[in-house]
């Protein structure tokens, strides 16, 4: 049976059947603040659940608690707060993260073990648990609450990141929301991402395809080269769409994998586009690499380069910065085989600069999306990475983050 993946207009985390969400302002970031900062995602039934976590050696309390809860690969709800990372808070932080799951469990009628927890915000602050306890009762869960959930998990984000896909012919949909704007870098990008599906998916397969999707999406995004203590990407599959359990050998396995990757790439691009102080999305494609690992390494190195990012911000066609970044990526290159295009304009062929009109490339760099394509001409592997320009506003945001 032919399957077609389509994005759902105004879709999000509650687009799949059986999921609801809600959020409230608990005043976590600032006492009395009207901003949504506490949210719950809920499934009508227990879900097979998989997650990928930050590789930072310093891990926040909610990461510790959620890792423990996911040993059996099951969850029914997630409680999330913004404004406080609950990181570097010791045993008290772990207790607070555990308390959050208990508070959400009472509100939803679940056992605490069925609830996961995530936090994002300033490192080193303790959660205002009294405010959280008082506020949870105000969270109303509904199918329409997905947008509020997306708003509540934002920190320096300027817009919520939401998307959903439906796979006709297979009878399931996948929804998601993510947050991330600063401290964004691979393994994993500094973000929270929550994904839901009404497909019935085997836990082992769910873990595998989530890691694959993260590798081609969130692990290919960089805003500033920093990774956080709180990064988490998780997916919950409740099976409410009916149909047989999807496993590695299932007829719908490939369709599920492809749909999940498309969704994650959409969210990853939006995270890069909304990087702190960003004015442009940068897409770097590396072609002709010996293998996928080399292609990814070169693409990520280029998109991470402060000199490339500032050149793009200033509309400066200083292509030597791209070649230089590729050269220090750690991947073996043949300088005499490199070919480079920016905005579709060829600048380098066979490792040698070609004639181009400076003004033409400047105009290309003035666009809101910038394409950089580097062909290594050493093999057939290809990878894409996303980032953003670096502006004066980035410095302003991060020099005044807590003041």
* φ and ψ of 34, to 5 deg: -80, 0
User: Comparing C-alpha atoms, which of 160, 221, 203, 174 is closest to residue 385?
Assistant: 221
In the numeric block, the tokens 């586009």 are attached to 273
User: Comparing C-alpha atoms, which of 57, 39, 41 is closest to residue 49?
Assistant: 41
* Nearest-angstrom CA–CA distance, 310 and 388: 9
* Nearest-angstrom CA–CA distance, 115 and 117: 7
Kind and range of the H or E run holding 176: strand 172-179
The residue count for the chain: 403
166, 190, 229, 301: the active-site residue: 190
Copy the structure tokens of residue 330: 């750690």
* φ and ψ of 208, to 5 deg: -65, -50
E strands, 260-401, are: 281-289, 339-342, 345-349, 352-353, 369-375, 381-388
Task: Give bridge partners of residue 348 from the DSSP assignment.
Answer: 340, 353
* Nearest-angstrom CA–CA distance, 3 and 252: 8
Q: What angle do CA 19, 264, 110 make, to 5 degrees?
A: 25
Q: Which residues does 269 contact at the CB level (< 8 Å), separation at least 6?
A: 281, 283, 386
* Nearest-angstrom CA–CA distance, 12 and 177: 6
* Nearest-angstrom CA–CA distance, 131 and 125: 14
Active site residue 279: no
Q: How many CA atoms lie within 13 A of 27 on its CB side?
A: 11
Which residues carry out catalysis? 190
């Amino acid at each position: 049976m032919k399957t077609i993946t389509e994005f759902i207009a105004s879709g999000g985390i509650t687009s799949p059947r059986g999921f609801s969400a809600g959020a409230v302002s608990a005043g976590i970031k600032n006492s009395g603040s009207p901003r949504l900062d506490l949210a719950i995602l809920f499934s009508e039934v227990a879900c097979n659940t998989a997650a990928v976590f930050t590789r930072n050696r310093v891990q926040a309390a909610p990461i510790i608690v959620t890792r423990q809860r996911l040993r059996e690969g099951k969850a029914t709800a997630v409680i999330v707060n913004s404004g406080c990372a609950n990181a570097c808070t010791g045993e008290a932080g772990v207790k607070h993260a555990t308390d959050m799951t208990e508070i959400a469990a009472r509100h939803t009628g679940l056992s605490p073990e069925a609830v996961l927890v995530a936090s994002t915000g300033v490192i080193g602050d303790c959660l205002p648990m009294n405010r959280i306890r008082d506020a949870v009762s105000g969270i109303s869960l509904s199918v329409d609450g997905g947008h509020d959930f997306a708003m509540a998990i934002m920190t320096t984000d300027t817009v919520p990141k939401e998307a959903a896909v439906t796979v006709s012919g297979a009878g399931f949909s996948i929804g998601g929301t993510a947050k991330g704007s600063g401290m964004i870098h691979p393994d994993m990008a500094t973000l929270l991402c929550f994904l839901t599906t009404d497909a019935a998916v085997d836990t082992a397969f769910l873990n595998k395809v989530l890691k694959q999707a993260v590798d081609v999406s969130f692990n290919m995004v960089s805003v500033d080269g920093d990774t956080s203590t709180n990064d988490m990407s998780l997916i919950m599959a409740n099976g409410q769409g009916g149909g047989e359990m999807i496993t590695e050998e299932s007829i719908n396995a490939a369709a599920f994998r492809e749909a999940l990757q498309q969704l994650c790439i959409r969210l990853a691009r939006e995270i890069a586009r909304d990087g702190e102080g960003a004015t442009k999305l940068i897409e770097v494609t590396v072609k002709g690499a010996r293998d996928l690992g080399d292609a990814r390494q070169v693409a990520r190195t280029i998109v991470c380069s402060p000199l490339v990012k500032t050149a793009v911000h200033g509309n400066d066609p200083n292509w030597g910065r791209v070649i230089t970044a590729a050269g220090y990526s750690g991947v073996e290159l043949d300088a005499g085989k490199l070919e480079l295009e920016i905005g579709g304009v060829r600048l380098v062929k066979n490792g040698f600069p070609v004639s181009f009109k400076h003004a033409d490339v400047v105009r290309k760099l003035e666009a809101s999306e910038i394409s950089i394509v580097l062909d290594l001409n050493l093999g057939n592997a290809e990878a894409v990475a996303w980032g953003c320009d670096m502006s004066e506003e980035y410095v302003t945001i991060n020099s005044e983050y807590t003041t």
